Amino acid sequence: MKILGRHLIVEYSECDKRSLDDVRLLEEGMNEAVRRSGATIVRSVFHRYNPQGVSGVVVIAESHISIHTWPEYGYAAVDFFTCGESVDPYKAHEYLSTVLGAGAAHVQDLRRGIPSEADEVISHKPFPQTFNVAAQA
């Protein structure tokens, strides 16, 4: 595989139920998790459902971090998708686990990229920042 990024898929359980329903706490916690990972925040969008639960995404220059919560089960599903070698998604995971008061976490660490015969890490920014595919179409 020509590896472009890492994707941590985390199942948090036994979480603090009030934290899982607090949209402000979750957005602040996710943004701080991004900072601790070394990533660059582009924008965050969060939504609280009625009667409970929150979904949110922090778009980062290196990809995204997202969360979906089920307070009634003390459960949160979180994705940490990062590109490049300067970001450490485990730092974000460790911090967010504390914010959620998680009693347990199950982590899957996936490599994301282009299928190929051999494994190699490739740059996720092979062209100058001014390159624009849409402009050439």
| Cβ atoms 38, 120 nearer than 8 A | no
68 classed as catalytic: yes
Position 10 scores a pLDDT of 98
- Residue 63 among the catalytic residues: yes
From first CA to last CA, the distance across the chain in angstroms is 28
Q: Which of 68, 97, 123, 124 is catalytic?
A: 68
Dihedral over alpha carbons 110, 45, 71, 13 (to 10 degrees): 20
pLDDT at 45 over 70: yes
Both tokens of 16, joined, read 């603090």
* Per-residue pLDDT tens over the stretch 95-120: 999 999 999 999 999 888 788 888 87
* Secondary structure of residue 104 in the 3-state scheme: strand
Give this prediction's pTM.
0.84
What pLDDT sits at residue 97?
98
* List of domains in the chain: 2-136 (3.60.90.10)
